[in-house]
């Protein structure tokens, strides 16, 4: 199994996200890595473009220039659905042509991904299995990657099991916590990213991470003096959750600071009203708008 963080080479892989936040995370990372490498990146839009673009903006990835110069191409919703509901041979032929054209235009490699749930509408699972089985042969030894997304929100479990079996590699991204509303990921013992919505059902999970991170920091003489929560993708925080964060900042020892980064305006206003400016061991860093969300109506390619 290949972890998305490892960036190990593969030509054809799948991912089985357990939530929408997980899906946006994996998709945006795959697209961003391709853009950073100068590859031609194709996204098949099937009703999921807006949140993907928002996640890319959260990740500080500005896609406007790649769209303008043709490095990033987005297949419109209607075209994607027509393609996926058609014969498997048409899907493979279209992908083959996209790869040939991009390589012919001088791109060093190509990567392709997107939501494919419309393929179940008309052709059904058998048609999906047919084109999935043909992807490796279509790719050949060309420098191209295809990431197939089968999230548990939209795909039934029996279809996921059958499609999963056709892939040698599976992209994963582990989480500290994911309840389909809130997703917490951690790259190191003292940093976490909080995405989605925090309310009474899951706010204790944020507190639990902070308590564990601070305990580890206090026990380790070489630890960093800051515990950081990246809130770039936190769209909603209730009052009690804001109070908990402020209280944590008030209760941190003088040797350590709780840092909240990428805080969105609405969350920032709530934290301020709950006393964040007066918590000595709390530092709040507002989100900047230098990477706005791209307008999907201007970004689709025919």
> 256-278: per-residue pLDDT in tens?
999 999 999 999 999 999 999 99
Which pLDDT does position 223 carry in this prediction? 78
Which pLDDT does position 123 carry in this prediction? 65
Mean pLDDT of 126-152: 94
User: Between 294 and 34, where is the model more confident?
Assistant: 34
Bridge partners (DSSP) listed for residue 261 = 230
User: Between 28 and 299, where is the model more confident?
Assistant: 28
Q: Calculate the CA 47 to chain-centre distance.
A: 16
CB 217 within 8 A of CB 227: yes
pTM: 0.91
Mean pLDDT of 20-48: 95
CB 144 within 8 A of CB 99: yes
Whether the per-residue pLDDT at 7 is higher than 70: the answer is no
Which pLDDT does position 5 carry in this prediction? 44
Q: For residue range 154-207, what is the model confidence (pLDDT) as tens digits?
A: 999 999 999 999 999 999 889 999 999 999 999 899 999 999 999 999 999 999
Which pLDDT does position 301 carry in this prediction? 47
> Which of 220, 222, 224, 221 lies closest to 258 in space, CA to CA?
224
Whether the per-residue pLDDT at 296 is higher than 60: the answer is no
Per-residue pLDDT band at 1 (split at 50, 70, 90): very low
Domains of the chain listed by start with CATH number = 2-174 (3.40.50.300), 177-286 (3.30.750.24)
CB 234 within 8 A of CB 264: yes
Per-residue pLDDT band at 289 (split at 50, 70, 90): confident
CA distance 184 to 196: 9
For tokens 């990921």, the residue is 185
225: part of which helix (H) or strand (E)? none
Whether the per-residue pLDDT at 6 is higher than 70: the answer is no
- Percent of the chain at pLDDT exceeding 70: 93
> Which of 52, 49, 57, 45 lies closest to 30 in space, CA to CA?
52
CB 182 within 8 A of CB 197: yes
Mean pLDDT of the chain, nearest integer: 91
Question: What beta strand segments (E) does the chain contain?
Answer: 2-3, 12-15, 40-44, 72-75, 110-115, 144-149, 169-172, 177-178, 182-188, 191-198, 226-230, 234-237, 257-263, 282-286
């Amino acid at each position: 199994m290949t972890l998305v963080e490892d960036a190990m080479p593969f030509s054809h892989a799948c991912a089985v996200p357990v939530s929408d936040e997980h899906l946006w995370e994996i998709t945006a990372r795959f697209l961003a890595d391709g853009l950073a490498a100068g590859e031609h990146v194709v996204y098949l839009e099937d009703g999921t473009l807006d949140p993907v673009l928002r996640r890319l903006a959260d990740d500080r990835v500005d896609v406007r220039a790649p769209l303008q110069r043709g490095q990033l191409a987005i297949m419109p919703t209607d075209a994607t659905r027509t393609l996926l509901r058609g014969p498997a041979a048409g899907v493979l032929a279209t992908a083959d042509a996209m790869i040939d054209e991009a390589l012919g235009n001088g791109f060093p490699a190509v990567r392709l991904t997107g939501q494919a749930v419309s393929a179940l509408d008309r052709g059904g699972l058998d048609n999906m299995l047919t084109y999935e089985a043909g992807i490796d042969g279509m790719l050949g030894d060309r420098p191209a990657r295809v990431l197939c997304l089968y999230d548990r929100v939209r795909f039934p479990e029996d279809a996921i099991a059958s499609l999963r079996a056709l892939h040698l590699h599976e992209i994963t991204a582990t989480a500290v916590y994911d309840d389909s509303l809130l997703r917490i990921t951690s790259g190191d013992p003292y940093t976490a990213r909080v995405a989605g919505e925090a309310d009474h059902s899951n706010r204790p999970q944020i507190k639990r991470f902070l308590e564990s991170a601070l305990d580890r920091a206090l026990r380790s003489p070489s630890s960093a003096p800051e515990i950081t929560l990246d809130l770039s993708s936190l769209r909603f925080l209730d009052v009690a959750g804001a109070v908990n964060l402020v209280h944590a900042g008030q209760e941190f020892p003088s040797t350590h600071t709780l840092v909240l980064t990428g805080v969105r305006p609405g969350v920032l206003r709530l934290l301020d009203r709950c006393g964040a400016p007066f918590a000595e061991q709390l530092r709040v860093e507002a989100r900047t708008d230098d990477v706005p969300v791209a307008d999907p109506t201007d970004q689709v390619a025919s």
